Chain A
């Protein structure tokens, strides 16, 4: 690669890298489920951009839409099933502070240390090489069994989740017989006991 390109590539790498870390940090500092979800998405988008810089364009771009869909699903399900209505109320986003901080710092240090310790091979990629086709043959060739197993497992999980959360089931409505809580506090206490 010519040095001009590599300077811009380096600058872009640092910009995306810092943005990915910054948004990753925001995930834990924000007070809303939705903000945390989409801060995580922003972090992933920056990681995807770094993958595009590494000429893994298909994987990088795929990361964009995969993570966009996943975080959108998270926005629906995690928020829908939480006591915090629609993620609009401020809430504490972390628990087990001390353990989480130690585990996070240790993992980051470990992985970052690995980056310095490992002697990475220096094999410049031929830009014109058809990396996307190679990836396709890999996924649909030697890794076929793994990919298909993962696919079927994910599908079964999704169907299971939908069945469990469905209001209508084989034995009738899941909320049959339930009554909304009374608006009168004393009545509510009685109902509870």
Chain B
């Protein structure tokens, strides 16, 4: 069957992916708690940080769900599920070890990009379907914010595909056996991290769900649906951390230790960077961020693709 030569696909990778998502979501919550304690000056309490996410999740599960007047009965509860599913779909194209992926397809980074774009649609629909003004504004913010860095993310991902001469994430990882992409074109990783913060509505780019909108798209959401939304946001952060580790830091490649351990270590490091950014970088104003995304970040991504292209020339 020639399919095997095109798709590195392993059914066993599906439970692994689910474990990575669930474990990653828990890890993000714990790290977030620990960083919060460090930043606020109190002594970090590991035991408390380990218990707190579970307690909060249990609390949300027991909470009653609020209702708004005439919400969209289908889209409102489906949006968090779609958001989480898109995080998993984006991660499905990433190999956890050599030849071990849910679907390391030929168009890997295009699939990842498509999942990212659909993420903004999911966030918008979540805000829209609540039928509440602040949630709606949050939803529109999500789209506008998405438009301002979608191109950026596409150029950055094309930048990592150039040296590999392939859109498959497996090939992109293999192409870094000599030199990691973060060294080849150093602009890519920071730009990709900005996109990751935006897609996971995290830290400075938590604009659609921000506090000055009284919670924005989640302003009217409580109970299990809220839990699903918070799970999905963290899952998206995990997806971007694993992708950043694979696309820029050589993924599963590394000496002495087995491949998955390397990928795990690099992904956790990326998650720590995301969580730290969430606590250390101040919130940006949506208008200002949009202007800077178009006038500063987008030209930087042009520069990134130029460096990657020149470097990739034979």
Q: Which residues of A contact B (CB under 8 A)?
A: 2, 5, 34-35, 38, 41, 57-58, 61-62, 64-65, 68-69, 71-73, 75-76, 86-88, 126-128, 132
Contact = CB atoms under 8 A, between A and B. Distances in A.
A132 B107 contact: yes
Given A75-B143, A76-B140, A65 B6 contact: no
19 contacts: A41-B121, A58-B106, A58-B110, A61-B110, A64-B118, A65-B110, A65-B118, A68-B114, A69-B150, A72-B121, A72-B143, A72-B146, A76-B144, A86-B136, A87-B128, A88-B128, A88-B136, A128-B2, A132-B106
Contacts of B118: 64-65, 68
Contact of A132 (B117, B120, B167): B167
A65 B110 CA distance: 9
Given A58-B107, A126-B2, A128-B6, A65 B117 contact: yes
A26 to B, nearest CB: 11
A127 B72 CA distance: 43
B113 interface: yes
Contacts of A128: 2, 5-6
A57 B128 CA distance: 31
Interface of B: 1-3, 5-6, 72, 75, 105-107, 110-111, 113-114, 116-118, 120-121, 124-125, 128, 131, 136, 140, 143-144, 146-147, 150, 167
A64 B128 contact: no
B120 A72 contact: yes
A17 B155 CA distance: 32
A2 B146 CA distance: 42
Nearest to A128: B2
Given A57-B105, A65-B114, A34 B143 contact: no
Given A61-B111, A128-B6, A132-B167, A38 B106 contact: no
Contacts of B1: 2
Contacts of B140: 76
B279 to A, nearest CB: 30
Contacts of A76: 140, 143-144
A155 B110 CA distance: 22
B110 A72 contact: no
Contacts of B5: 128
Contacts of A61: 107, 110-111, 114
Top 10 closest A-B pairs, CB basis?
A64-B114, A65-B114, A65-B117, A68-B117, A61-B110, A128-B2, A127-B2, A57-B107, A61-B107, A68-B118
Given A38-B125, A65-B117, 11 more contacts: A38-B121, A57-B105, A65-B116, A71-B121, A73-B147, A76-B143, A86-B136, A126-B2, A128-B2, A132-B106, A132-B107
A71 B1 CA distance: 38
